[in-house]
């Protein structure tokens, strides 16, 4: 369930877009230099646990020359996402039927986004270790989920502290690339593969 309020959600989208705009060490000096001034032309995003497509649709509108995979494991949600993409003319938003232990992305992406989904994933170290293969060079994984003391969100027993997320992601071979603190009830962590 995506509970973000409108202003924080808009701020999160702007911050997510910034992930594409800033070149990372993996993308800079090598034998051929890339320009990222027109990141919307190359950006591929996977929104895992997309639900009704709140973020997927907005990202598809924002990255009109990019591609957004709206992934969900619920068949009704996948059907809804596909219909929404057609209804709203979002040719760059593709609904994908994932399974609990694999998002089944059709190609590598620049950003994998999980909003209020991390706490639902079983065997997270294994899941995110495998997910590394779905990232393009310089790719990132953004995790937004509820803080332990948030007045909204899943039952407190289901929540995962940001420190635990960092430890689990490190065990899965990822390092923290950025941490944003502007959301009132959620943490926003961005990871990149360690190697």
Domain ranges of the chain: 39-193
Cα(21)–Cα(75) distance, rounded to whole angstroms?
A: 34
Mean pLDDT of the 25-51 span? 60
Residue 52: pLDDT band with limits 50, 70, 90: very high
pLDDT per position as a tens digit, 125-182: 999 999 999 999 999 999 999 999 999 999 999 999 999 999 999 999 999 999 999 8
Unique residue bearing structure tokens 């899943």: 154
Residue 134 DSSP code:
G
**What is the CB neighbour count within 10 angstroms for residue 124?**
19
Residue 195: pLDDT band with limits 50, 70, 90: confident
pTM: 0.83
Determine contact, residues 56/13, Cβ cutoff 8 Å: no
Residue 43: pLDDT band with limits 50, 70, 90: confident
- Backbone conformation region of residue 81, classed left if phi is above 0, alpha if psi is from -120 to 50, else beta: alpha
Unique residue bearing structure tokens 């609904």: 95
Q: What is the pLDDT of residue 27?
A: 35
Cα(99)–Cα(103) distance, rounded to whole angstroms?
A: 6
Does the domain at 39-193 match CATH 3.50.50.60? Answer given as no
Q: What is the pLDDT of residue 33?
A: 40
Indicate the average pLDDT of the chain.
85
**Any alpha helices (H) in the chain, and if so which ranges?**
6-21, 54-62, 75-87, 124-131, 162-171
């Amino acid at each position: 369930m995506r509970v973000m309020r409108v202003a924080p959600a808009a701020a999160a989208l702007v911050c997510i877009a910034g992930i594409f705009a800033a070149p990372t060490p993996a993308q800079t000096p090598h034998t051929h230099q890339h320009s990222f001034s027109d990141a919307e032309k190359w950006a591929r995003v996977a929104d895992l646990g997309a639900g009704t497509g709140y973020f997927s649709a907005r990202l598809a509108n924002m990255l009109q020359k990019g591609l957004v995979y709206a992934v969900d494991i619920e068949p009704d949600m996948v059907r809804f996402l596909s219909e929404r993409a057609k209804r709203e003319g979002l040719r760059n938003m593709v609904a994908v039927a994932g399974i609990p232990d694999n998002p089944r992305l059709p190609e590598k992406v620049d950003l994998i986004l999980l909003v209020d989904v991390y706490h639902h994933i079983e065997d997270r170290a294994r899941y995110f270790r495998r997910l590394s293969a779905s990232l393009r060079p310089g790719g990132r994984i953004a995790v937004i989920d509820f803080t332990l003391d948030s007045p909204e969100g899943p039952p407190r027993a289901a929540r995962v502290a940001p420190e635990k997320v960092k430890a689990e992601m490190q065990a899965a071979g990822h390092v923290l690339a950025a941490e944003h603190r502007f959301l009132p009830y959620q943490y926003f962590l961005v990871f990149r593969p360690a190697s």
